[in-house]
């Protein structure tokens, strides 16, 4: 017997997404924009990198996100002495039974918060990279599939903080989005001071979707139409970054694919079953900024990656709306 499609009995899917966002805003105050981008990454099957100073609510955001979507979650503090087996799991010997039993690590969860990723050694980063790219981990010669959906929210401290180092390009390229939570606004911070802190804020959140319903939503997102002219537009933008005089390494084909998937999710969240050029323009900065490798002289100019992308968006011709919308 074929399983029943959850979309047959779901409420209007976008209504569920809006409810999930409102639930998260109960705990994560004044960050609706970041919440929206996180939801986009989840629907598009991407991972998120948060660069922020300590104490602004990154862990709370991850827990709230997991609770709103009824996802299993774990948190890993990425320290200099962390080994790959600490996150993938390892075989543990039981003397009474006289046999080894594999004990899964924290990566066996739907949502993994990897805190301070840029403090951990390359070998451990490589184990996380395999999980992000392939949805599996390898430990003790065995390969284990990770649960679906699987999403990593990694955090890193700004590079001026002691004991940090720059993540390699291969690692950065695996993240669909790089975001900053930032400090709360004045109103939100005052509200935090007067809120009930006896219970964790995320406990006020009620789950809005099951994993099965989320999987059905992702299938709907995958059906969003992206016209061939819009695909060419995305590729032309990517090529423009590769040819820009300030750029040593432009965005990769993986980055173009990430943009494509994100555009589908963004259009769906806007209530459309087709994408338009404005969707691409809205997402390029958050999806491509962290992937550009600038020439040394350009790298010293603050915010230069964003300026390069702005130049590219202004330079590359935009396809006509009617053609891009598939009409």
- For 70-89, the pLDDT digits (tens) are 999 999 999 888 988 899 88
What 3-state class would DSSP assign to 179?
strand
Closest by CA to 285, choosing from 144, 187, 178, is 178
Which H or E element spans position 128? helix 122-134
Model pLDDT, residue 34: 92
Tell me if 179 sits within 8 A of 48, measured CB to CB.
yes
Number of helical (H) and strand (E) elements in the chain, helices listed first = 14, 11
- Distance between CA 319 and CA 263 in Å, rounded? 15
- Distance between CA 298 and CA 279 in Å, rounded? 28
- Distance between CA 240 and CA 250 in Å, rounded? 8
Q: Does the pLDDT value for residue 10 go beyond 80?
A: no
Half-sphere exposure of residue 5: CA atoms within 13 angstroms, side-chain side: 7
Model pLDDT, residue 158: 73
Tell me if 182 sits within 8 A of 59, measured CB to CB.
no
Model pLDDT, residue 91: 72
Tell me if 236 sits within 8 A of 277, measured CB to CB.
no
- Distance between CA 187 and CA 189 in Å, rounded? 6
Number of neighbouring beta carbons within 10 Å of residue 216: 19
Tell me if 91 sits within 8 A of 102, measured CB to CB.
yes
Q: Does the pLDDT value for residue 146 go beyond 60?
A: yes
Q: What is the mean pLDDT of residues 196-210?
A: 75
Model pLDDT, residue 295: 84
Model pLDDT, residue 9: 40
Which CATH class, in words, describes the domain spanning 6-217? alpha beta
Compute the C-alpha angle 324/317/222, nearest 5°: 35
Q: Does the pLDDT value for residue 275 go beyond 60?
A: yes
Closest by CA to 65, choosing from 33, 39, 31, 37, is 39
Q: Does the pLDDT value for residue 3 go beyond 60?
A: no
Model pLDDT, residue 324: 44
Model pLDDT, residue 11: 53
Model pLDDT, residue 193: 79
Share of the chain above pLDDT 90, in %: 39
Model pLDDT, residue 197: 62
Q: What is the mean pLDDT of residues 103-122?
A: 89
- Distance between CA 28 and CA 50 in Å, rounded? 15
Say what the pTM is. 0.87
Q: Does the pLDDT value for residue 1 go beyond 60?
A: no
- Residue spans of the domains in the chain: they are 6-217, 223-324
Superfamily for the 223-324 domain: Magnesium chelatase subunit I, C-Terminal domain (1.10.8.80)
On the question of a common fold for 6-217 and 223-324, the answer reads: no
Q: Residue 294: CB partners within 8 Å, gap ≥ 6?
A: 246, 247, 248, 304, 305, 308
- Buried-exposed string 102-137: b where 16+ CB fall within 10 A, e elsewhere: eeebbbbbbbbbbbbbbbbeeebbebbbbbbeeeeb
Least confidently predicted of 53-67, 75-89, 185-199, 253-267: 185-199
Tell me if 309 sits within 8 A of 288, measured CB to CB.
yes
Average pLDDT, the chain: 85
Closest by CA to 174, choosing from 212, 125, 141, 240, is 125
Q: Does the pLDDT value for residue 23 go beyond 70?
A: yes
Number of neighbouring beta carbons within 10 Å of residue 222: 14
């Amino acid at each position: 017997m074929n399983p029943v499609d959850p979309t047959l009995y779901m409420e209007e899917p976008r209504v569920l997404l809006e409810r999930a966002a409102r639930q998260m805003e109960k705990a994560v105050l004044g960050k609706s924009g970041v919440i929206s981008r996180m939801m986009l990454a989840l629907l598009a099957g991407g991972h998120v990198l948060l660069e922020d100073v300590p104490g602004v609510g990154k862990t709370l955001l991850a827990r709230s996100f997991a609770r709103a979507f009824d996802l299993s979650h774990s948190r890993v503090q990425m320290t200099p002495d962390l080994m790959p087996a600490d996150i993938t799991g390892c075989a543990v010997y039981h003397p009474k039974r006289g046999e080894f039993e594999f004990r899964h690590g924290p990566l066996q969860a739907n949502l993994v918060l990897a805190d301070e990723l840029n403090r951990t050694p390359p070998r451990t980063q490589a184990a996380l990279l395999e999980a992000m790219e392939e949805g599996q981990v390898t430990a003790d010669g065995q390969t284990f599939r990770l649960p679906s959906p699987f999403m990593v929210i990694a955090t890193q401290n700004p590079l001026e903080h002691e004991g940090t180092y720059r993540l390699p390009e291969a690692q950065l390229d695996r993240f669909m989005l790089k975001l900053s939570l930032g400090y709360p606004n004045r109103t939100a911070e005052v509200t935090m001071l007067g809120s009930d802190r006896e219970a964790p804020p995320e406990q006020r959140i009620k789950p809005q979707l099951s994993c099965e319903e989320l999987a059905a939503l992702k299938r709907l997102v995958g059906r969003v139409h992206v016209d061939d002219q819009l695909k060419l537009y995305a590729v032309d933008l990517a090529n423009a970054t590769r040819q820009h005089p300030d750029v040593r390494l432009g965005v990769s084909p993986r980055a173009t694919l990430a943009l494509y998937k994100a555009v589908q999710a963004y259009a769906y969240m806007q209530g459309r079953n087709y994408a338009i050029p404005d969707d691409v323009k809205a997402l390029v900065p958050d999806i491509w900024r962290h992937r550009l490798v600038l020439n040394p002289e350009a790298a010293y100019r603050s915010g230069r990656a964003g300026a390069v992308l702005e130049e590219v968006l202004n330079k590359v011709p935009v396809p006509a709306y009617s053609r891009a919308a598939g009409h």
